[in-house]
Structure 1
Amino acid sequence: MADPARARKLADRIQQIVAHLLDTRVKDPRLGFVTITDVKVTGDLQHASVFYTVLGDEEARAGTAAALESAKGLLRSEVGKQTGIRLTPSLDFFLDAVPETAAQLDAALQEAARRDAEVAALAARAAYAGEADPYRKPAEDDETD
């Protein structure tokens, strides 16, 4: 098992290399506006999971996934050349769900803000069921005796 700091440095380097290669060397027309968001490397440095997002609809995502799969060999060989490690990790590409998750969280926060506003409006119109201060004071106890 490799040092976690070394695995993180390798993951960061792979992310930079793959992003640069997608920008400069991969000329596949199916490749959409893709962003490499993260890379996770296993502890033995044999496998790298590359997470990416694509700007566009479902068709653009499918085309980008196919383009990345076809360019996997080129990307892996360039990663091996530029990192200089003995065993080049295999690359697996996964569509990152960050934009969808962010949209869901944004919708949940808007719903919470709307409900908070409703509760605040109800509280502003609320009145006490009995007296404003239902507790007896020590001064009141002396007067009743």
Structure 2
Amino acid sequence: MAHGRRVERVASMIRREMSELLVNGVRDERVNQGMVSITNVVVAGDLQHCKVSVSIFGSESEQDQAMAGLRSAAPYLRGELSRRLNMRRTPELVFHHDKGLAQGVEVLGLLSKLEEERQERGPVPDGSEEM
């Protein structure tokens, strides 16, 4: 079992190298058509598995295609990580679509809409409660 600090260091190195590989290494058009960014990397304590969370900007179909491209490029990416990180055994990569940013944008849009509606109604008269 690897120590916690080593696991964190390996996760950080994988995140850095994966970001570089997504920009310069992956030639799959499915991955390149959507803007893909790595949001989190979690490495198992035994360093055998790695969950890579990615955020993808684009339409729903572009996001699905980008995820399919990432999954098909996983063996290539694992091999490149092995060469770059000089690890005895490189973790197996599992990609996860992180929809947190999209949900955050949606919430901000709803809040903006509520603020616009509040501005249209005007100020609340004295003595009445705002709902």
Residues 1:77 and 2:79 are matched in the alignment: yes
Q: Distance in 2 between matches of 1:111 and 1:4?
A: 44
Q: Identify the residue that residue 125 of structure 1 maps to in structure 2.
A: 126
Q: Identify the residue that residue 23 of structure 2 maps to in structure 1.
A: 23
Q: Distance in 1 between matches of 2:67 and 2:78?
A: 16
Q: Which moved more, 1:21-30 or 1:99-108?
A: 99-108
Q: Distance in 2 between matches of 1:16 and 1:35?
A: 11
Which consecutive segments of 4 or more residues in structure 1 shift more than 2 A?
103-114
Distance change >3 Å, CA 111–CA 23, structure 1 → 2: closer
Alignment of 1:50-61 (within 5 A): 50-61=52-63
SS of the equivalent of 1:30 reads helix
Q: Identify the residue that residue 87 of structure 1 maps to in structure 2.
A: 89
Q: Distance in 2 between matches of 1:52 and 1:26?
A: 15
Q: Distance in 1 between matches of 2:113 and 2:65?
A: 34
TM-score normalised to structure 1 length: 0.73
In the alignment of these two chains, the number of paired residues is: 125
SS of the equivalent of 2:46 reads coil
Alignment of 1:89-128 (within 5 A): 89-106=91-108, 109=111, 125-126=126-127
Q: Distance in 2 between matches of 1:112 and 1:4?
A: 45
SS of the equivalent of 1:35 reads strand
Q: Which moved more, 1:105-114 or 1:24-33?
A: 105-114
Distance apart, 1:88 and its partner CA: 0.9
* Matching residue's letter, 1:125: D
**Bigger-Rg structure (1/2):** 1
* Matching residue's letter, 1:28: D
* Matching residue's letter, 1:99: L
TM-score normalised to structure 2 length: 0.80
Distance apart, 1:51 and its partner CA: 0.7
Residues 1:49 and 2:51 are matched in the alignment: yes
Distance apart, 1:104 and its partner CA: 4.6
Gaps of 5+ in 2: none
Q: Identify the residue that residue 40 of structure 1 maps to in structure 2.
A: 42
